């Protein structure tokens, strides 16, 4: 285990034809476990910035992820297996080898100026957090927001970071035009659990304060209790919603744990490291939620699960929403009619 990291290993990705096994004799185990792993940033040449989505499970058709990999290190992150396409591990590599998009403003402008471009809200933070630590230095998300404001383009943001408050000036301008919503995921109120579950994400109390500050500034805010992990954080559902109800949010949702591809083994290793006595119990319930498998990608059920425990979570969530006054929460649609594609701008001749 590495201090400040979520994954307890760095296994080969699924495309590797060979695997290696490291053996230890015990002499240097304590030293190795305390070693920190340096984060490295790599430019990722951008050809197409916007990704399109056809899944009926997701409330957006377009998204931008300024970063590949995420230093927050959330062990449950469904995006971990995407690092395999970079010939890297979904384990520690995902948290330490961070790729950032280049020429983002130019790529956005090229897309917006195409006559066939159709405006729908762009979602930021659908795969990795747009406000992870690298954003402090690179400011890619801020550049994207500045461009979206310039073109009057609607946007949604999902994050776990208080760094979003840095850009509150742009968020306020977008909000005045009804062009933005901001959501934060809150997985637990227990800072000890947060530390091993999401090691470099903001503390639960900091996320709640951030939601409150955004709401006070008139920015539409929402929250996700996500993911629900049986026997790890599911018992907090009612308490988390009660805390969120006091922040002024106007949208609420939840997602159950899903473990695609390499993520299953990474999560099981994490369970054995931190909760060995309940590891099998957790995995049995996860399989119950996904029809006997650790994960099934079927649209319509992959986010909420199936079976009796899925129905139980849904009922608990609905009851908690009623008790906390969140049962009528829902974002208002963002405006798409204000978009300005820049076609009226004068093109220089020389």
Domain ranges (residues) in the chain? 29-324
Per cent of the chain over pLDDT 70 is 90
Identify the CATH number of the domain defined by range 29-324: 3.80.30.30
Least confident of 26-40, 125-139, 190-204, 308-322: 26-40
pTM exceeds 0.75, yes or no: yes
Residue 155's contacts (CB-CB under 8 Å, 6 or more residues apart) are 121, 122, 123, 124, 145, 148, 174, 179, 180, 334
pLDDT tens column, 135-159: 999 999 999 999 999 999 999 999 9
pLDDT in tens, 282-330: 999 999 999 988 888 887 788 899 999 999 999 999 999 999 999 988 9
What pLDDT sits at residue 348? 40
Q: Is the pLDDT of residue 14 over 70?
A: no
Cβ neighbour number for residue 290 with a 10 Å cutoff = 22
pLDDT at position 35 is 53
């Amino acid at each position: 285990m590495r201090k400040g990291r979520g994954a307890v290993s760095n296994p080969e990705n699924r495309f590797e034809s060979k695997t290696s096994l490291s053996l230890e004799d015990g002499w240097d185990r304590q030293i190795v476990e305390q070693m920190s792993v340096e984060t490295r940033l790599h430019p990722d040449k951008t050809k197409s910035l916007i990704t399109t989505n056809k899944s009926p499970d997701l409330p957006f058709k377009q998204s931008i992820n300024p970063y590949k990999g995420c230093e927050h290190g959330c062990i449950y992150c469904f995006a971990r297996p995407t690092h395999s396409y970079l010939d890297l591990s979904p384990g520690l590599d995902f948290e330490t080898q961070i790729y950032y998009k280049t020429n983002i403003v130019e790529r956005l402008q090229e897309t917006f100026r195409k006559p066939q471009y159709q405006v729908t809200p762009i979602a930021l933070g659908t795969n990795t957090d747009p406000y992870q630590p690298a954003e402090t230095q690179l400011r890619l998300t801020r550049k994207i927001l500045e461009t979206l404001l310039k073109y009057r383009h609607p946007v949604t943001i999902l994050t776990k970071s208080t760094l979003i408050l840095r850009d509150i000036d742009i968020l306020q301008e977008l909000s005045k035009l009804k062009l933005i919503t901001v959501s934060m995921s809150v997985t637990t109120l227990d800072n000890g659990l947060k530390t091993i579950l999401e090691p470099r994400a903001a503390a639960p109390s900091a996320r709640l304060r951030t939601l409150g500050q955004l709401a006070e500034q008139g920015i539409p805010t929402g929250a996700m209790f996500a993911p629900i992990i049986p026997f790890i954080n599911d018992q907090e559902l009612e308490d988390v919603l009660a805390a969120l109800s006091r922040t002024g949010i106007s949208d609420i949702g939840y997602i159950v744990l899903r473990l695609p591809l390499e993520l299953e083994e990474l999560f099981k290793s994490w369970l054995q490291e931190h909760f060995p006595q309940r590891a099998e119990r957790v995995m049995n319930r996860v399989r119950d939620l996904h029809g006997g498998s650790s994960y099934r990608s079927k649209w319509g059920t992959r986010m909420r699960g199936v079976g009796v425990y899925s129905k139980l979570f849904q009922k608990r969530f609905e009851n908690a929403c009623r008790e906390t006054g969140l049962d009528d929460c829902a974002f208002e649609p963002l405006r798409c009619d204000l978009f300005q594609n820049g076609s009226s701008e004068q093109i220089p001749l020389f």
